Amino acid sequence: MLDSFLTFINQLGLDLGKQSTLLTISGGVDSVVMAHLFHRAGFGAAVAHCNFGLRGEESIEDELFVERLAGEYGYTFSVSHFETKKYAKEKGISTQMAARELRYSWFEELRKDRFDWIATAHHANDSLETVLLNFARGTGVAGLYGISPINGFVLRPLLFATKKEILDYAQSNQLLWREDRSNDSLDYKRNVIRKKVIPVLTELNPSLESTFQVTSEKVSAAATLLNGFLHDWQKEVVTDAVGEISIPISKLKEKEESAYLLWYVIENYGFNYTQAKQIADNLDSVSGLSFYSASHQILKSRAHLIVRKKNDEIKDTELHINGPGDYRFGNQSFFLEKCEDFEFSKEEKNVLYVDALSVVFPLKIRNWRHGDVFQPFGMKGLRKKVSDVLIDLKFSMYQKENVVVVTDHSDEIMWLVGIRTDERWRIATGAKGFYRMGFLPDKEC
């Protein structure tokens, strides 16, 4: 088994003789065999053990056992004691999930200090169990090829070996280990898979373990090719603008599996495959349909699906400005200040300049409304609806929601913020004394 272990490490392209590894040792047979193989191979390592305080005296005995094991191999020993049930209650998660979060967080803290790798003792049977669990819960392609031998800084150096091979190795080398009685409990889903499901599958296929390893490799290879295609497709057709992404409906409709393409793009925004199918089924529907995840919204416009973060805040409707100062309206910051000199060169759409003598407070900032009309700068007094300006600029519905206006005391529009100023507030030649309004932090005058 040592030869197989070294071959597996070489296939992964690792030089553990020159790198340092943190061995995560529970005291069970899998982790004991991992420590023994590292020791025989002469790899530099240290041992970390988690005491979750879940099994009373047995947890203490496990800790002492692992400490002695580390000493025998000349490995540095580290232990952490966790209040696992308290943590699970505070986070509202299961005890198993709490233990997982606690241990990996601690392992990473240790790794950052002095280790290249965190080694866990997952083996081939663990990978099979993971795939069956994923399949039962529902999964994508990635969930069907099991556990990866390398994930970030986490290394699984025993994935080449089956549970039987590990047990045979431990017994032939007269190794001692600790038994965790919770491994026999059917209260845990993984144990149900191990003790109830896999034996039945093994009756159907006595070579289940080896068959699974080959299948896993093929699925992994197929997933690599698929992800390459999906990545290239997304890069080519999806536009990523500030605050939103845009997916051309025509490009989705070109492909037979439009729902899967869409899911690949939107799953990171909290949407599941069922929602992706629902959206794909409505690509020919009227514009204006919206779909929601916990964090994001998808709007169907005429030609695009637009994804952006969901705004759960109640929008401000009106803010009065009574003089110079800093102001906040919704998620936008403004300033108003008085300037003595100004040399006009051209319209600045992100800044409003007005003659101080013409201003009567209060000014107002508000959301634009359907029916709003103003005289855009440069159109020589011609009036235009704000809605028409936004259509001309091809603003999406999301962008339109965030457009605000600044008005005078009689609610006449002075500035379509960040877009156009009103011709009526054009500064006359020779005027002295100005107000300058704009977005923070652009505040030099």
Omega of the bond leading into 362 within 30 degrees of 0 (cis): yes
User: What's the pLDDT tens digit per position in 350-381?
Assistant: 788 888 888 999 999 999 998 999 999 888 88
Q: pLDDT tens for residues 388-445?
A: 999 999 887 767 877 899 999 999 999 999 899 999 988 877 677 889 898 764 444 4
Q: Provide the token pair at 274.
A: 């069922």
pLDDT tier for residue 348 given thresholds of 50, 70 and 90: low
What average pLDDT does range 21-28 have in this prediction? 96
The DSSP symbol for 183 reads G
Instruction: Give me the chain's average pLDDT, please.
Output: 89
d(CA 24, CA 49): 6
Unique residue bearing structure tokens 């299961």: 94
Specify the pLDDT at position 442.
41
Cα–Cα distance, 30 to 170 (Å, whole number): 9
Over residues 285-295, the pLDDT tens digits come to: 877 788 889 88
Bridge partners, residue 309, by sequence? 296
Q: What is the pTM of this model?
A: 0.65
364 and 412 in contact (C-beta within 8 Å)? no
- Helix (H) or strand (E) run with residue 178 in it: none
Q: Is the Cβ–Cβ distance between 397 and 288 less than 8 Å? A: yes
Q: How far apart are the first and last CA of the chain?
A: 75
Q: What average pLDDT does the segment 24-37 reach?
A: 96
Give the pLDDT confidence of 137-183 residue by residue, as tens digits.
888 888 888 899 999 999 999 999 999 999 999 999 999 999 877 77
Chain CA centroid to CA 240, Å: 16
Place 6 in a pLDDT band, splitting at 50, 70 and 90. very high
Contact, 99 vs 107, CB < 8 A? Answer: no
Report the distance separating Cα 31 and Cα 195, nearest Å: 21
Nearest by Cα to 337 from 357, 352, 347, 349: 352
Q: What is the pLDDT of residues 87-146, one digit of tens each?
A: 999 989 988 899 999 999 999 999 997 999 999 999 999 999 999 998 988 888 888 888
Q: Catalogue all structural domains in the chain, each as residue range(s) with its CATH number.
A: 2-217 (3.40.50.620), 238-309 (no CATH), 318-439 (3.50.40.10)
How confident is the model over 230-252, as pLDDT tens digits? 999 999 999 987 678 999 999 99
How many H helices and E strands in the chain? 15, 22
How much of the chain, in percent, has pLDDT values that exceed 90? 62
Question: CB of 337 within 8 A of CB of 384?
Answer: no
